[in-house]
Structure 1
Amino acid sequence: MLEAPRWSQRNWAKIHRGWIVPLVLIVAIIIANNLLLAGSSTSGQPLTYGGLFTGLLNFVLLIGLLAALVFLIIGIVGLIRAMLRSRGIYTKRERRELENYEYRLKYRADARLAAGRTLEQLLNGQVPQSFVDWSIPFDQDEAPFARAQFGYARFYGTDAQWTSGGLVMFGGPMLLAGSLLASAAVSGSNKNRALREAAEQWREGQLVDGIITNRRFIAIRADGEVLSFWYEAISQMNFSLDTHQIILRFHDTAPLFIEGDDTDVLAVYIVAGIHGDNGLRQHPELEPIRSAYGQIAA
C-alpha cells in the first residue's frame, strides 16, 4: 500500500512531547541535584548514608542530565524541522521523497482512469489500443494491451528434507546418553525447521515484467522464464484495488499474487475474460474504477 513519507504525517502532540519531556526531566534533575548537594554539605558533613553513595548518585544525575540535554536538542531540532515543513521548506532528501510520492499518486490516478476508459471501450464493443511485442508468440485472437512491472509471488509447499545428525560416539554410558540426547535435540530442530520451510506459503517474491492481453497475464520473471496465466483457467479471484493487489487461484497451478500500480487494468481484462459485459457493469470489485472514471467523464 502506498503511504506518504513518515515525516509528512505530522503529529504535533508527539513532536512537542519530544522537547517538553526532556526539558521537564532536566528541571527535575537540577532540583534533585541541588537538594542532594544541600543535604550533603550541611556543616561540611556528608549525608549519613555515606559520601561514596552521594558521589555515585551525583554521577547518575549528571549522566541523566546529559542524556536529557541530548534528547532536548533532538526534540527542538525535530520541532524546527516540522515547522519548516509546514511552511513548505524541505531538505533535498525530503523533497525527493515527496516528489516520488506525489508522482506515484498521480500515476495511480492516471492508471485508474485508463482502466476506466478500457472498461468503457470494451462495453461499447471497441478494441483498446494494443502494442507490438515480437518477443512473445500470441494467439490469433489475442493482443497485448499493457505492459508494466508487478510484484509477483506464488503459494505452494515443497517436500521437507532434513538430516538426522547421525553421530559416531565413544565413551562411558553417561557420555553416550548425553550425546544421544544432544543428537536427538539437533535432529528435532532440523526437522521442525524443514517442516516450516516446506509448509505452504508465498514464495518466489520478486518483480516481474508483466504483459496484459485480452486472454492472459504473462509474467516474465527475473531469470527470464515466461509464465502464462490464462483467464479461462482461473477458479477464484480476489481483488483489493485500494491496495492494488490481486490474488488468483487456478484449476491446475499454484495461486498467484500480483501487486502494482497497473493492477486496475489487469482486473478489467480478467473480469471481461471471465464474466463478459455483465461483469464489467456489475462486478463489485470494479466499482472503484467505474466510480473514478464516471466522476471524471461527468
Structure 2
Amino acid sequence: MQDANSPEWIAWQSATELRHHLLSGGALPEIPAPPVNFGQGLRFHADLRLGYSRWYAAEVTYARSSALAFGSPGFVVSALAINAIGNSVRRSRALALAIPQWREHQMVPAILTSQCIVTFAASRWQFWYFNRIMTITPVFAEHSAIFTFDGNLEPLRLQGVAAAWLSAAAAYLVFGVDYLCANPNFSRMGPSYDKVRGATDQQERIRELP
C-alpha cells in the first residue's frame, strides 16, 4: 500500500488534483517570477528541480590493437586469440556506448512558463518552446515526463516526483484541455472531461437550489 505521507504519493495527488481542476475549467496556478531575467511577457507556473537527460546516439571510437607473438605454435595461437577477444570486447563496448540512449544525466532547475520550459544544464539556460513540442508522454512508473520535438531536436526527459504534475500542466499549455482529457497517457490521472464537467454542473445546480 502506498504511504499517504510519502513525497511520491503527495506529488501524485497534486498532479491528479491539477488535472481535475483544469478539466473543471480552472486556470493554471501562477507563481512569482524567479530572480532571473527571462524577458518580458512570460507568466510562471512552476519552479522545480528535476533529473535531466537527452536521448541521442553518439560517435564512439575505440583503439584496435595488433599483436605480434613469437614462440611455440601453441603460445602464438593463444596470444592472437587473446588479442582478438580484447578487440571484440572493446568493439562491443563502443557499440553499446554509441547506440541511442539517455545521456547528460544531471539535476537541474526546471521552470514552467506560459511559453516554454526553461532548464539550466551544461552551464547555460535552455528554452524548450511549446511551438516545437510534438508529444508529451508521462511515464508514471519512472516518475518522468518525456518531450519530443520537431526537426532534429533530441527528446528531453525530466524525472522526479513532480514530473506527473509538470506533464499535465505542460500538456494543458501546449495542446489544451481536450488533449489533457482525451490522451490515454493521462487517463490514469482521473476521470474524463465529461465526467468531471458533469459532476461540476451537478454541484452548481445543487448550490442554486433554494
**What's the TM-score bracket when you normalise by the shorter of the two chains?**
0.7 to 0.9
2:153 pairs with 1:250: no
Q: How many residues align?
A: 196
Find 2:35's aligned residue among 130, 134, 146.
Answer: 134
Q: In 2, are the aligned partners of 1:213 and 1:269 still within 8 Å (CA)?
A: no
Alpha-carbon distance in structure 1 between the residues aligned to 2:6 and 2:83: 57
The Cα of 1:180 is off from its aligned counterpart by 2.0
The Cα of 1:127 is off from its aligned counterpart by 6.6
Q: Partner residue of 2:207? A: none
The Cα of 1:290 is off from its aligned counterpart by 5.6
More strand, by proportion = 2
Find 1:237's aligned residue among 136, 153, 165.
Answer: 136
Aligned-CA RMSD value: 3.4
Q: Deviations over 1:134-160 (max 9, x none)?
A: 32524x342221011223322222113
Q: Partner residue of 1:87? A: none
**Percent identity between the aligned chains?**
19
- Give ranges in structure 1 of 5+ residues lacking alignment: 5-97
Q: Deviations over 1:161-205 (max 9, x none)?
A: 111123354445543333222211111111111111221122233
Find 1:278's aligned residue among 178, 181, 196.
Answer: 178
Q: In 1, are the aligned partners of 2:50 and 2:160 still within 8 Å (CA)?
A: yes
Alpha-carbon distance in structure 1 between the residues aligned to 2:87 and 2:185: 48
More helix, by proportion = 1
Q: Partner residue of 1:109? A: 13
- Map 1:167-246 to 2 at 5 A: 167-221=67-121, 224-241=123-140, 244-246=143-145
TM-score, scaled relative to structure 2: 0.72
Runs of 4+ more than 6 Å apart: none
TM-score, scaled relative to structure 1: 0.54
Alignment-mate amino acid for residue 112 of structure 1:
T
Closer, same or farther: CA 168–189 of 1 in aligned 2, 3 Å:
same
- Map 1:7-46 to 2 at 5 A: none
2:45 pairs with 1:145: yes
Q: Which has the higher contact order (CA 8 A, sep 6+)?
A: 2
Closer, same or farther: CA 218–287 of 1 in aligned 2, 3 Å:
same
Alpha-carbon distance in structure 2 between the residues aligned to 1:157 and 1:236: 20
Alignment-mate amino acid for residue 237 of structure 1:
I
Alpha-carbon distance in structure 2 between the residues aligned to 1:188 and 1:128: 56
Find 1:259's aligned residue among 155, 159, 167.
Answer: 159
- Give ranges in structure 2 of 5+ residues lacking alignment: 204-210
Alignment-mate amino acid for residue 149 of structure 2:
F
The Cα of 1:266 is off from its aligned counterpart by 2.2
Q: Partner residue of 1:50? A: none
1:102 is paired with a residue whose SS is coil
1:217 is paired with a residue whose SS is strand
The Cα of 1:242 is off from its aligned counterpart by 6.7
Alpha-carbon distance in structure 2 between the residues aligned to 1:178 and 1:127: 69
Alpha-carbon distance in structure 2 between the residues aligned to 1:151 and 1:131: 23
Alpha-carbon distance in structure 2 between the residues aligned to 1:244 and 1:178: 50
Alignment-mate amino acid for residue 79 of structure 2:
S
Q: Choose 1 or 2 for highest CA Rg.
A: 1
Q: Partner residue of 1:158? A: 58
Q: In 2, are the aligned partners of 1:149 and 1:208 still within 8 Å (CA)?
A: yes
Alpha-carbon distance in structure 2 between the residues aligned to 1:107 and 1:236: 22
